[in-house]
C-alpha cells in the first residue's frame, strides 16, 4: 500500500499533458515547440518555456533592468517604477489575461520577462540617442536589441552564444517580424501569447505612469478629470466611499481602471477568437490583424488618456530636461569610446577585431544601467574622479 502514496517528482511529460488537456486549441503547446537553434536535451521536470523563463531571470540583462528607468530616473526616489518592476507588472497582467483565455501562461511569462531587455539606459531618450548615433551603422531598436541579447550577447554557455531560447519565445520578441534564421519566413502576426504581452505592456505602463506621475506631483488629479475614462471610474470610487484618503483613492481608481481594461480585452479577444473561428495557434498568426485587442469603445476611451500622458508627463519640462541631459552625456560617452576603444573592457574590446566598432560600442552603451552610465560619465569626464 505504501508505494501508492510515495511522493514523486512531476515530469515534464506530465506538465505537457496537462497543457494538452487544459489549454485552448489556439494556445502554443510546449510539446510542439520548434525547438532551439543549438540542440540540447530536454529537462526532466520543466517544460521548454518554463526553462526559458528561468534562463531569462538568471541573465545579466535581466538583473540590469533594476537600474534602468523609463520616465523617472533612478535617483529621483525609491517609489517609482524601474524597468524591472515594470516588467513584473507586465508579467502579472499578461499572466492573468493568458490564464483567462487558456493560453500558455509559461510562454507568456517568458516573453514578458524578456520584452524590455533591449532597452538602453534612460528610457526613450536613450533609445533615440542610440538610434541617431547608429543611423548610418545599421540603426538601433530596443526590440531587435532584446533578440540580440538573448541570441548573441549573453555569455553563459561553453558551446553557444546567447541563451539558446525556444523558437516561440524568440518569435514572441520579434515584433518587427525579421527572419529568425530558422529557414522559414515569419508568420504575418505574433502568437496570441506574444500579443497578450504587448497589450499587457500598454496597460501596465499607462497606469503605472499615471500613478508615478501623480505621486511625483508632475500630474495633478484636477487635470485628469478632463479624461472621460478617469472621470467615470473616479465617480464610481467616490460614490462607494466619499471619505477615502487621497493615496487610497488614487490606488482604487488605478486598480479599477486596469481591471476594466483587462476585462474588456479578454472579452473582445474571445469574441474575435470565436468570430474568426480560430482553431489553432497558426490560424491566429495567419491573420493580418491582432486577435488580442480592446473593443472599439474601450479603444476610443483610451485615446484621451494616452494623449494626456504624452503631453502632461512625457513632455513635462522636468522630464524633457532629464531626457536632454541623458542625450548629451550618452552621446559624449559613445564618442569617447569610439575615439579610443582602449578604454573599453577586455571582452568588449575583443569584439573589435571582427565587428563594426559602432555596433560594439552601441551594444556596450545599450547594456548600461542609468546608474552605470552616470558613474562612467563622472569617471571619464570629471578631472578629480578616479577613472
Ligand atoms: Mg515594456
Band (pLDDT 50/70/90 cuts) for residue 181 is confident
Tell me, what's the pLDDT at 192?
Answer: 98
Tell me, what's the pLDDT at 163?
Answer: 98
- Separation between Cα atoms, residue 245 and residue 347, nearest integer Å: 53
Tell me, what's the pLDDT at 177?
Answer: 85
pLDDT tens readout for residues 90-145: 999 999 999 999 999 999 999 999 999 999 999 889 999 999 999 999 999 999 99
Tell me, what's the pLDDT at 13?
Answer: 96
* 302's grid cell: 483610451
SS3 for 90?
helix
> Does residue 19 surpass a pLDDT of 90?
yes
* Distance (Å) from CA 201 to ligand 1 centroid: 5
* Distance (Å) from CA 205 to ligand 1 centroid: 7
Tell me the domain boundaries of the chain. Answer: 12-319
Tell me, what's the pLDDT at 187?
Answer: 87
* Distance (Å) from CA 145 to ligand 1 centroid: 13
Q: Are 115 and 347 in contact (CB under 8 A)?
A: no
Task: Give the residue among 101, 22, 26, 31 at the shortest CA–CA distance from 284.
Answer: 26
Share of the chain above pLDDT 90, in %: 81
Tell me, what's the pLDDT at 73?
Answer: 65
Tell me, what's the pLDDT at 1?
Answer: 52
pLDDT tens readout for residues 3-13: 677 788 889 99
pLDDT tens readout for residues 66-88: 999 887 765 677 778 899 999 99
* Distance (Å) from CA 382 to ligand 1 centroid: 34
* Distance (Å) from CA 376 to ligand 1 centroid: 26
**CATH of range 12-319; options 2.40.50.140, 3.40.50.720, 3.40.50.11890, 1.10.3210.10:** 1.10.3210.10
Q: Tell me the three-class secondary structure of 102-139, residue by residue.
A: CCCHHHHHHHHHHCCCCCCCCHHHHHHHHHHHCCCCCC
pLDDT tens readout for residues 307-321: 999 999 988 998 888
* Distance (Å) from CA 370 to ligand 1 centroid: 17
* Distance (Å) from CA 115 to ligand 1 centroid: 6
What is the rounded radius of gyration, in angstroms, for the C-alpha atoms of the chain? 23
Tell me, what's the pLDDT at 130?
Answer: 97
Tell me which residues have their CB within 5 A of the ion that is ligand 1: 116, 201
Amino acid at each position: 500500500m505504501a508505494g501508492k502514496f510515495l511522493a514523486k517528482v512531476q515530469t515534464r511529460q506530465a506538465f505537457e499533458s496537462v497543457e494538452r488537456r487544459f489549454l485552448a486549441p489556439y494556445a502554443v503547446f510546449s510539446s510542439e515547440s520548434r525547438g532551439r537553434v543549438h540542440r540540447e536535451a530536454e529537462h526532466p521536470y520543466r517544460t521548454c518555456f518554463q526553462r526559458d523563463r528561468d534562463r531569462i531571470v538568471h541573465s545579466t540583462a535581466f538583473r540590469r533592468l533594476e537600474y534602468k528607468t523609463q520616465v523617472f530616473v533612478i535617483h529621483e526616489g525609491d517609489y517609482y517604477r524601474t524597468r524591472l518592476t515594470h516588467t513584473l507588472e507586465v508579467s502579472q497582467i499578461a499572466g492573468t489575461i493568458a490564464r483567462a483565455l487558456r493560453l500558455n501562461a509559461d510562454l507568456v511569462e517568458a516573453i514578458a520577462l524578456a520584452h524590455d531587455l533591449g532597452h538602453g539606459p534612460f528610457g526613450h531618450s536613450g533609445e533615440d540617442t542610440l538610434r541617431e548615433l547608429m543611423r548610418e551603422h545599421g540603426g538601433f531598436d530596443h526590440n531587435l536589441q532584446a533578440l540580440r541579447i538573448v541570441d548573441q550577447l549573453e555569455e553563459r554557455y561553453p558551446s553557444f552564444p546567447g541563451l539558446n531560447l525556444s523558437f516561440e519565445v524568440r518569435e514572441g520578441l520579434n515584433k518587427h517580424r525579421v527572419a529568425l534564421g530558422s529557414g522559414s519566413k515569419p508568420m504575418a502576426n505574433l502568437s496570441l501569447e506574444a500579443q497578450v504581452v504587448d497589450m499587457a505592456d500598454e496597460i501596465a505602463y499607462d497606469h503605472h505612469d499615471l500613478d508615478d506621475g501623480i505621486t511625483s506631483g508632475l500630474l495633478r488629479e484636477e487635470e485628469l478629470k478632463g479624461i472621460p475614462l478617469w472621470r467615470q471610474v473616479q465617480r464610481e470610487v467616490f460614490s462607494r466611499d466619499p471619505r477615502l484618503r487621497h493615496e487610497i483613492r488614487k490606488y482604487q481608481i488605478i486598480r479599477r481602471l486596469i481591471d476594466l481594461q483587462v476585462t474588456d480585452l479578454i472579452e473582445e479577444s474571445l469574441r474575435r477568437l470565436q468570430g474568426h473561428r480560430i482553431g489553432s495557434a497558426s490560424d491566429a498568426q495567419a491573420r493580418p490583424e491582432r486577435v488580442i485587442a480592446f473593443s472599439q469603445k474601450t479603444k476610443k476611451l483610451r485615446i484621451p488618456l494616452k494623449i494626456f500622458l504624452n503631453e502632461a508627463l512625457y513632455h513635462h519640462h522636468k522630464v524633457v530636461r532629464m531626457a536632454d541631459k541623458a542625450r548629451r552625456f550618452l552621446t559624449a560617452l559613445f564618442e569617447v569610446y569610439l575615439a579610443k576603444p582602449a578604454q573599453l573592457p577586455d571582452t568588449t574590446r575583443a569584439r573589435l577585431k571582427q565587428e563594426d566598432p559602432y555596433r560594439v560600442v552601441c551594444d556596450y552603451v545599450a547594456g548600461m544601467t542609468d546608474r552605470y552610465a552616470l558613474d562612467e560619465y563622472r569617471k571619464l569626464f570629471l578631472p578629480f574622479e578616479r577613472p
